Amino acid sequence: MSVLQRVVKPFTRKGKKVLMKREPQIIEGPKKAVFFQGRKCSEKLRRLLKDMYDIKKPDSLMLNKKNDITIFENVTPVENICKKHETPVFLMGSHSKKRPDNLVIGLREFAASKISLGTKPVLIFNGLQWEQTDKMRHLKSIFIDFFHRETVDAVRLQGIEHTISLNATSEGKILLRSYKVLLKKSGCRTPRVELEEIGPRVDFALRRTRLPTEDLIKEACRKPRELKVIKKKNISTDKLGTTHSTIHVGKQEINKLQTRKMKGLKKTPVEKKAERAAKKRSIKVNKEEIEPVKKQKRG
C-alpha cells in the first residue's frame, strides 16, 4: 500500500497557483511520461527506453540513475517518482535471469528519415485478442494514454506523419512497429500512401499484471460535471441543420395586456366623466351595504 502524503497548505499566492495546476483539470492536456531503469538494465532495454523517449517527446522525461524498485512488491517508490516529476505515465526497464528482456531493435538500426517533434501518431490495434480479456483491454488503454497528445477536432492530411501498429498474436506476443507515412503523387486528388519503417521494432510479452479495482477504475474514468452534455428539452434539428424549438406558454389574460397607446384609442372627456361617475356610484352602493351590518352589531 502507498504511504499517505501530508497535505501541503500554501502560504503565498504563487504557491496556491502551483498547487492548483497540480490538481485535476476539467480538460486535461497530454500526459507526460517518465522513463527510468530498474536494478539492472541491459543495453537493449536502454536503447528501447531511449527510442520510446524520442517518440514521446516533448512530453517525456528520462532518468539516467538506476533505481532499486520492485513494482509488484512495493509501488510507493514509483508513486513518489511520478508525483515528484508530475508524470502520470511511467516506463521502467529491468533485466534479470528469471525475467529477461525481449528482443529489441532500436531506432539506430533503421537508416530512415525521422518524424517531426510533437507529431500525433495514428494508433492501429490489430487482433481480436485486444478485446477478449480484461488484461488486454487494460493494456490497450495504457498504450492509448501513453501515446496520446493534445485533443483536436480535426487533422489535415499532411499532419498524419507517424503511425504506430500494435499487433496482438495468438501466441501472446504484442508486436510494436513504427512507420513514417509518406504521401506520394497519384495523379488524382487523393495521394498514394506508403509506409516506411523507422523503428523501434519491439516484441512484447505480457507477464505479470496488477489490475486496479473496479472502484478505482470508476473514479479514474469519472467525467467532471462541467463536461457532461446537458440535453436540451423541446429542441430538435432537421436534416438541413435548422433548429426548431417548442415553447409552452400558460393561459394569458388578453384584457390586461399593455397595448400601444394611440391617439385614436384615447378616451374622450365624456367617456372619462361617465367612468368616474360609475366608480362613485359603485362606492356609494358598497357603503350602504356595509352600514346596516354595523348597526345590527351595535344593537
The C-alpha cell of 32 is what? 507526460
Pairing type for strands 243-245 and 235-237 reads: antiparallel
Q: How far is CA 120 from the centre of its chain?
A: 16
For the chain, give the longest Cα–Cα distance.
Answer: 122
From residue 60, alpha-carbon distances to 46, 71, 76, 88, 296 in Å are 15, 20, 21, 11, 98
- Give the integer Cα–Cα distance in Å for 31 and 86: 9
What radius of gyration, in Å, describes the C-alpha atoms of the chain?
37
Count other Cβ atoms within 10 Å, centred on residue 59. 18
From residue 141, alpha-carbon distances to 108, 125, 131, 206 in Å are 28, 11, 11, 14
Q: Which residues contact 30 (CB under 8 A, 6 or more apart)?
A: 59, 148, 149, 150
Q: What is the dihedral of CA 177, 181, 184, 189, to 10 degrees?
A: 120
- Report the DSSP beta bridge partners of residue 91: 35
**Sign of the C-alpha dihedral, residues 277, 283, 288, 289?**
positive
Task: Return the pLDDT at 125.
Answer: 93
- Give the integer Cα–Cα distance in Å for 115 and 51: 12
Nearest to 179 by CA among 104, 115, 111: 115
- Residue showing cell 469519472: 222
Kindly provide the b/e burial profile for residues 68-83, where b requires at least 16 CB atoms within 10 angstroms of the residue's own CB: ebeeeeeeeebeebbe
- Give the integer Cα–Cα distance in Å for 202 and 62: 19
Element (H, E) at 6: none
Count other Cβ atoms within 10 Å, centred on residue 156. 6
- DSSP 3-state of 100: coil
Task: Return the pLDDT at 111.
Answer: 52
Task: Return the pLDDT at 1.
Answer: 43
Region of residue 200 (left: phi > 0; alpha: psi -120 to 50; beta: else): beta
> What pLDDT tens digit does each residue of the chain (299 aa) get?
444 455 567 788 888 887 777 776 666 777 788 888 887 888 888 888 888 888 888 888 888 888 787 777 777 887 788 878 877 777 888 777 776 754 434 444 455 567 777 788 889 999 888 988 888 888 888 888 888 887 777 878 888 888 889 999 888 888 888 888 888 888 888 888 888 888 778 888 887 777 888 888 888 778 777 777 777 888 888 888 888 888 887 787 777 777 777 777 778 888 888 888 888 887 766 666 666 555 555 54
- Report the DSSP beta bridge partners of residue 194: 182
The answer to whether 123 and 143 have CB atoms below 8 angstroms apart is yes
The C-alpha cell of 211 is what? 489490475
Domains of the chain: 16-224 (3.40.50)
Q: What is the dihedral of CA 133, 56, 154, 136, to 10 degrees?
A: 0
